[in-house]
Amino acid sequence: MLKPIKSKEEHSTYLARAYDLMQLELTPNSKEADELEVISILIEAFEKENFPI
């Protein structure tokens, strides 16, 4: 189950999963494509808060 990222360890886990999903040839609106979209949103939110530019 996906949940908000609250630690650097969770961030690393989500980054690894996003990488794995990006290596696949995803079909739009598939379970995996939707998972990648949600993970990307969660990663972006965590990085904006914890790694400001």
Residues 7-45 pLDDT 10s: 999 999 999 999 999 999 999 999 999 999 999 999 999
Question: What is this structure's pTM?
Answer: 0.91
Question: What domain range is 17 assigned to?
Answer: 8-50
**Cα(28)–Cα(49) distance, rounded to whole angstroms?**
29
| Residue 26: closest CA among 35, 39, 14 | 35
Quote the number of domains for the chain.
1
Whether 3 is covered by a domain: the verdict is: no
Going by pLDDT thresholds of 50, 70 and 90, the confidence category of residue 53 is confident
Q: Which two tokens stand for residue 4?
A: 């908000």
Whether 40 is covered by a domain: the verdict is: yes
Whether 2 is covered by a domain: the verdict is: no
- Residue-averaged pLDDT of the chain: 96
Q: Which two tokens stand for residue 18?
A: 């996003």
